[in-house]
Each structure stands twice: as C-alpha cells, then as structure tokens.
Amino acid sequence: MQYDDFRRSDNIEDRRGDEAPIGIPGVSSGGLGIGGLIIVGLISWALGIDPRLVLGGLEMVQGARPPMQQTGGPARPAGTPTDAQGQFVAAVLGDSEDRWTEIFAENNRRYERPRLVLFTRATRSACGFAQSAMGPFYCPNDQRVYLDTSFFDDLQRKFQGCSGAACKFSYAYVITHEIGHHVQNLLGILPKVQRAQQAMGDRERNALQVRVELQADCLAGVWANRAQAKWKFLEPGDVEAALQTASAIGDDRLQKRAQGYVVPDAFTHGSSAQRMAAFQKGFKGGQLQSCPL
C-alpha cells in the first residue's frame, strides 16, 4: 500500500501517553468495533470462553441503549501526529475525508468529518470508557473514532499473512470500517437501527446487527475503490491481505476457535464469507448505493 499521496488529516486528537481514566474494566456503552471483535475472539479462544459471554452488552448499536450524558476525554487541540504510526493513521483518515466528501456531494449531501482519537490503554469517550481490549470503535454520541494503535501490533502478531508492509491495507480496512459507521450515522442508519432493536428479541437484534456491520465492511470497500481510482495506491497482495483479515474475524471462525462449534443466531458481525463478500461488493461498486442495509 502506497499512501505518500494521501493528505494527512489534522483532525486527530492525540491522547497517547495520558494517564488512563479509572473505570469499569471492559465496560463501555460505546461498544466493540471490528478490532474489538478480533481481540475478544483471541481472548475467548485462549481462555476457552464462549465469546458471546464476553461480547454481551458491549456492541455499539446492539441493545438499543439511549445516548449517555457523559463527556469525552479532556479537551485537546487536534493536529497531525509526527510519529510513523500517527502519520499513517492521519493519511488514511485524510483520504477517507476527501473521498467521502466527494461521494456525499455526488448524493447532494454534506460530509461531516469525524474526529479520530489516538489513545494508550484507556480513555474517556461520550459512549463510556474506551479501552485497548475493545479495539478500534466508533462512538456516535461524539462522532469520534477511538484507536489504540497497539491494536495493529496485535493484528500483526496473531494473524498469518499480515506482516510488515503487507499489513498496511489491513490496518486501513480496520480504520475505514469504523469510518463506515460514521457514514451510517450521518445517513441516519444507526439511530434507525437502535430504535428498531428496542422491539426485537435477541435473534432478530443480532441479525440486524450483522447487517449493520456488513454494510460498514462494504463502505470500507467503497473508500478503497475511490482511493484506488484516484491514486492507484494498492500493491499486489494488499486486497488479499485485507480479505484474509475479514475472513479471520468472521463470527463463524471466532466461534469455531473458541468453542469448537458455530451458533449462527449469535452472530453480530457476520460470517467470514459474508465479511469478505461485503468488502468486495463495495470495492467493485464504489458507490453509496452499492451498500444497502
């Protein structure tokens, strides 16, 4: 993945190195993003715990929680980080801002840029406490993406096929999946889903949650399509690495590792095949209309 041409966003709040806030370990109404599912799956697999017990109550839009009257972390000016990881995140965020601004304009809409918060170990969000173990996630209450970049190290250590430069597009996929949730929020999809889930049982609620997550995968593919058309930034093996990441974090794969069998009704993010297909659908289509809920 070549990203030298990407504009570096200055819409990043760098809280790395701050003292971690005191809170309830692992609890947040902000929920789990794509990274959180990976980390939870790995922890569950290692300990032999059903991942549903770990995931219960943590998903961002599942469970239909009302917005919390909780402020985020201490006010901090935004800017572009100067370290290598910060520069990479700023590049992906910057290009996502540019591409989604174009896409929204094509659909007679205005794109509002989300702020991305970099943190170490834990920080506060308007959705509760953000912790490293949750992985990257999007909080609709403050329109911020929260990211502890140590997650990238975990991804590289734990999954085959993701090493060194080959991981870069996988990292970009993870970030733009969370940006996809912001797109859903701007389009009114997340609030609509939350309202609908209030009247649903667990099976229906999970099924709707899967559709939300697959749409975010598809929207990550839309960004990749537009960025490729603009910059020709992809290198051989990049898409395959991202698809391998999507495959590795499918609910079926994680459940099989954790408990030896698969429970489709408990899926919250979709199967490996569904996740790969959703990303490819957006990557081939390159339009908002390519990703219906």
Q: Residue 68 above 60 pLDDT?
A: no
Model confidence at 185, in pLDDT bands (50, 70, 90)? very high
Distance CA 88, CA 235 (A): 16
244: Cα within 13 Å, side-chain hemisphere: 18
pLDDT > 90: percent of the chain: 45
Q: 10 Å Cβ neighbour count for 27?
A: 13
DSSP of 103-117: HHHHTT--PPPPEEE
Q: What is the pLDDT of residue 122?
A: 87
Q: Residue 269 above 90 pLDDT?
A: no
Task: Fill in the amino acid letter for 26.
Answer: G
Q: Are the C-beta atoms of 206 and 62 separated by less than 8 Å?
A: yes
Span 30-44, pLDDT tens digits: 444 555 555 444 444
Q: Residue 138 above 80 pLDDT?
A: yes
- Model confidence, pTM: 0.80
Among 50-59, 118-127, 165-174, 281-290, top mean pLDDT goes to 281-290
Q: Are the C-beta atoms of 27 and 101 separated by less than 8 Å?
A: no
Q: Which helix (H) or strand (E) holds 90?
A: helix 84-106
Q: Report the pLDDT averaged over residues 244-251.
A: 57
**Mean pLDDT taken over the chain:** 77
Q: What is the pLDDT of residue 20?
A: 59
Q: Residue 7 above 80 pLDDT?
A: yes
Distance CA 9, CA 95 (A): 8
